[in-house]
Amino acid sequence: MKTFTLKIEDSAVDKVMWFLEHLKDVVKIETPQAYRQTDELNLKDDPLAQELQRRIQEIDNGLVELIPHLEVMSRVYAKWEQKCM
């Protein structure tokens, strides 16, 4: 048996794990603690996790306008400079 280390984009982890779990007879999966199914189930009952999921859904649905980090920082620095002068 060979051992591989995979670096997977966060957005694709669920798909890759789903695929690997369907190969259980030929692939031994050592799931990281942060991704274990029991941890996910606990998060479903967590009010903070639910709020984050709601906000992510709003972003995905286009209900919230996202502003690039550099633009936000430019605005912050501009206001800071105004107050300092």
pLDDT tens-digit profile of 9-47? 888 888 888 888 888 788 877 766 655 555 455 667 778
Of 81 and 24, the structure prediction assigns the larger pLDDT to 81
SS3 assignment, position 30: coil
Question: Structurally, how many domains does the chain consist of?
Answer: 2
Helix pair 47-60, 37-44: axis angle to 10 deg: 90
Confirm whether 58 is domain-assigned.
yes
Q: Which pTM does this prediction carry? A: 0.37
pLDDT at residue 76 above 70? yes
Task: Look at residue 10 and tell me if it is in a domain.
Answer: yes
Residue 84 lies in a domain: yes
Percent of the chain with pLDDT over 90: 21
Domain containing 83 equals 46-85
How high is the pLDDT of residue 34? 59
CA angle 63, 68, 69 (to 5 degrees): 125
Q: Is the pLDDT at 56 greater than 70, yes or no?
A: yes
